[in-house]
Every structure is written in structure tokens, then in C-alpha cells.
Amino acid sequence: MLRFFNPVAGAAPASNYSHGVEHAAGARRLLVSGQVGVRPDGSLAGGFEAQAAVAFDNLLAVVAEAGMAASDLVKITAFATEPGQVAAFRTVRDRKLGGHAPAATFLEVAGLARPDYLVEIEAEAVKEP
């Protein structure tokens, strides 16, 4: 069983994420490469929120292909090129993850693989036996 930690001896999470996640030995572990806002047809979604939503759809498709669900995510890391988008990202994340709160990091970066990519999301999922 996954265990989520938000110790009272530290600051509370700033939004819907956990400071730590523990899983049992022997669990299946999936590492998901950075996913961007490119739809299956190859088109790029327009705007930060739309790209974040498509990136989450792509991430969740990888998770599902591995026989896992959003509730198996233990860590997500997001890279954004537009400053000040953390609130928008959190809104999309919470909608796409259905309130699930894995460990999370949000970074503002100078650029991604293409200049028109506004956000990239990588993740780790664990499925316990």
C-alpha cells in the first residue's frame, strides 16, 4: 500500500501534493518520460493550460498502457517556460488526477526541446502487488 506523508513538523503542502510517498519493496515501478502538449495527431495544443491538459492525457495514457492508474502516481515533475503558471498548472493537475496527491515539483525553466512547448511533465508510478 502506498503511504503518503505530510509531517506536522514541516510546512504544509502549498497545494494538492504530498511531501513524501513510500511504497513496499517488490512493487512494479514505471518511469514516464517528459510528456508535452502534442496530441496523438501530432498537433500542438494552444496555450499553457491546453498544453498541460494534453501533457497529462499523454502521461496518463502511458500509465494506463502499463496497467496502472492515476492513483499509482507517486511523483510528478513539471517544467514550465511561462513564468507565473503554477496556479493554472495546479488546476489542470487536480482535475486530471482526480484529487490524487503524489509528491510533486514545479519548475520554471528557460526552454524545452522546442520553443513552442510551454510545459513538460514527467512522472513515476508504482503498482504494488
Q: What domains are there in the chain, each with its CATH number?
A: 23-127 (3.30.1330.40)
pTM of the model: 0.93
State residue 15's pLDDT score.
94
In the chain, the percentage of residues whose pLDDT exceeds 70 is 100
- Percentage of residues in the chain having pLDDT higher than 90: 96
Pairing of strands 73-80, 103-108: parallel
